[in-house]
Amino acid sequence: MKIALMMENSQAGKNATVLNELNNVVLPQGDSVFNVGMSDENDHHLTYIHLGIMASILINSKAVDFIVAGCGTGQGAMMSLNLHPGIVCGYCLDPSDAFLFNQINNGNALALAFAKGFGWGAELNVRYIFEKAFLTGERGNGYPLERAEPQQRNAVILNDVKAAVLKSDYLETLKSMDQTLVKTAVSGKRFQECLFDNSQNDEINAYVKSLLVEK
């Protein structure tokens, strides 16, 4: 699995801690981690709004399979990611949230709170969240197991409803946004490396490259 970690300006100082815990959990099982957001307060400035755009590009281009995002409370990141087609983002404060989202909702992104409740032992909570998110076997099995069938059915229905609401072609949705906003979102070097090295969508690649060469 290819996993992208993205953090915005208010919590960028915690990136090294979060990245270390994520790497320790998933690298031993052969997953890849791409640190595509802010790595510290001096990195190029991103808000949780930019994170949604970045996540949508990486998921819809199939450059990555899963997004780990967040902000101070996690709420803004969750709302921003869920605005976009192809993203099913859960809100995660503790390991049980990660496990239940994995089994019941079977989405492709998590939004964590990196300020609220992020105190003593926070790195342990983050580690345990990642363990439940990525080391619990097959996703979408349901919980409790006797509820698996309706839960799986409803997860598919929710995705279908979102696809019906967001009818526009994905590239058209990107082009209809403030292009300065999108350009900022794609300006990070690590983001570009992740996208261009792994993307399976030439049209998205070409669009992003066109933004980067604009004066």
pLDDT one-digit tens code per residue, 154-185: 999 988 888 887 877 899 999 999 999 999 99
Instruction: Tell me what pLDDT residue 138 has.
Output: 87
Whether the ω angle into residue 144 lies within 30 degrees of 0, i.e. cis, is yes
| pLDDT at residue 90, rounded to an integer | 97
- Report the candidate in 37, 64, 39 with the shortest Cα–Cα distance to residue 49: 37
- Mean pLDDT computed over 65-91: 97
Question: Facing residues of 109 across strands?
Answer: 67, 89
Residue type present at position 3: I
- The full set of domains in the chain, from first to last, is 2-213 (3.40.1400.10)
Q: Name 172's Cβ contacts closer than 8 Å, sequence gap at least 6.
A: none
Return all residues near 30 (Cβ < 8 A) that are at least 6 apart. none
Rounded to an integer, the average pLDDT of 77-93 is 96
State how far the Cα of 139 lies from the Cα of 125, in Å rounded to an integer.
21
Q: What is the pLDDT of residue 114?
A: 97
Token reading at 178: 């403030």
Q: What is the pLDDT of residues 13-41, one digit of tens each?
A: 999 999 999 999 999 999 999 999 999 99
How distant, in Å, are the alpha carbons of 34, 55, 147, 175 from that of 168?
29, 18, 34, 11
Higher pLDDT, 199 or 139: 199
